[in-house]
Amino acid sequence: MTDSERTSSSNWTIIFLCWIIAAVSTLGSLFFSEIMEFAPCALCWYQRIFMFPLVLIFLAGLFPSDKNIIKYALPLALIGWGFAFYHYLLYSGFIPESIQPCSQGVSCSQTYLDLFGFLTIPMLSLISFSTIIVLLFILKRKISK
Amino acid sequence: MKKLNIVILSSIFLVLLFVLGIYLYKTQQAKNLDFMARENASIFVRDYSQTLGSDDAKVYLIKFSDPACETCSAFHPFVKKLMAVNPGKIKLVLRYAPFHDGSDYFVKILEAAKKQGKYWETLDIMYRTQGHWASHNNPQPQLIWRFLPRAGLDLDRIRKDMNDPEIEKIIKQDLADAETLNVRKTPGFFVNGKPLASFGYQQLQNLVESEINEKY
């Protein structure tokens, strides 16, 4: 294997990992809403809006391995991360409930799930978006080298 | 192509994981409900709950419903037909899950009608005229009063009785039970404590028939 082949193969792996994370997050959120029937609150919907398309974007970027993927995926991931971070602050009580935007319908601060005592749904979302962003920045650095 | 295979295999794996998750979750839910049905039957049927059908019936069909819900209305004649086809074998228990905004109002009218012995007549009228007063984009709850006389009700008494705080308690208890039983949409059906796993007329009929076959 030549050096350039090795780099392109590891670039592919990074995009592949991003795709896996997006796919797992998408299926996971569908599981919560469709199978466990937790109604998604407004903030959850915004995060979904930025997570769901990433599955297709990363998939398209895999064949053939496309460095331009950063340009398309990073804005989505960053905005999604913003919503996830806000939701996380709301959930964990850093932002008082009185200023939350979704008082009607489904509450954004009601805890539905508490895995192992610390993992909540907004936290899972925040972890997914953060990991995707970190991976994309690693890819960016590797390409610019 | 090797990379393509990796992606295809991962996709298959994720989908299988999803399906397995569904299976495990549903089995676990069914187990929990079965346990509740045996240990704490009053979650399904409270003393105040309105029932229809013979007390000797061995199949209890519990319906969590909302007077303003279209699907509940659509299922109403179907449930009655099921009961007519299997005379004496099914007992219908009506529970409230007034999830629509302002549905409490109609539940209160219904409970007030119970005091005049016209519960089921009133429910029939409500479901039949629902389109007039419960349309989603323009609900006009006051219009219901036009149709209530058809059930032979004394409207002045209804207006007085519907403010009974006991009714408020009934609604609260039913909502609490609905939450315990994981009812998040209406109508929510249980047959002898077993939930309707996938929603539909045929599925409900199958579940009822399988319970009848088991008990008779």
Q: What is the CATH number for B82?
A: 3.40.30.10
Do B78 and B8 share a domain, yes or no? no
Which A residues 55-114 touch B at CB under 8 Å? 59, 62-63
Residue B29 has pLDDT above 60, yes or no: yes
DSSP chain A: --HHHHHHHHHHHHHHHHHHHHHHHHHHHHIIIIIS-PPP-HHHHHHHHHHHHHHHHHHHHHTTT-TTHHHHHHHHHHHHHHHHHHHHHHHTTSS-GGG-S--SSS-SS-----BTTTB-HHHHHHHHHHHHHHHHHHHHHHHH-
β-bridge pairing B59-65 and B90-96: parallel
CB contact under 8 A, B18 and A39: no
CB contact under 8 A, A35 and B25: yes
Contact of B198 with chain A, judged by CB distance below 8 Å, is answered with no
Residue B31 lies in domain = 2-39
Do B85 and B22 share a domain, yes or no? no
**Confidence at B27, pLDDT banded by 50, 70, 90:** confident
**Confidence at A102, pLDDT banded by 50, 70, 90:** very low
Where are the domains positioned within chain A?
A: 3-144
pLDDT (tens digit per residue) in B107-162: 999 999 999 999 999 999 999 888 888 877 777 888 889 888 888 888 899 999 98
CB contact under 8 A, B185 and A37: yes
Q: For residue B92, what are the β-bridge partners?
A: B52, B61
**Confidence at A104, pLDDT banded by 50, 70, 90:** very low
pLDDT (tens digit per residue) in A51-83: 999 999 999 999 888 889 999 999 999 999 999
Please count the CA atoms within 13 angstroms of the CA of B110 that sit on its side-chain side.
25
Do B28 and B68 share a domain, yes or no? no
Do B55 and B158 share a domain, yes or no? yes
Per-residue pLDDT, A44: 87
Do B150 and B72 share a domain, yes or no? yes
CATH fold of A3-144: Bromodomain-like (1.20.1550)
Do B19 and B83 share a domain, yes or no? no
Number of domains composing chain B: 2
Do B57 and B152 share a domain, yes or no? yes
Which of A20, A21, A26, A38 to mutate to test binding with chain B, by most B CBs within 10 Å of its CB? Answer: A20
CB contact under 8 A, B22 and A20: no
Contact of B21 with chain A, judged by CB distance below 8 Å, is answered with yes
Do B7 and B34 share a domain, yes or no? yes
Do B20 and B68 share a domain, yes or no? no
Predicted structure pTM score: 0.67
Contact of A17 with chain B, judged by CB distance below 8 Å, is answered with no
Beta-carbon contacts of B140 under 8 Å, excluding residues fewer than 6 positions away, are B132, B133
Do B124 and B35 share a domain, yes or no? no
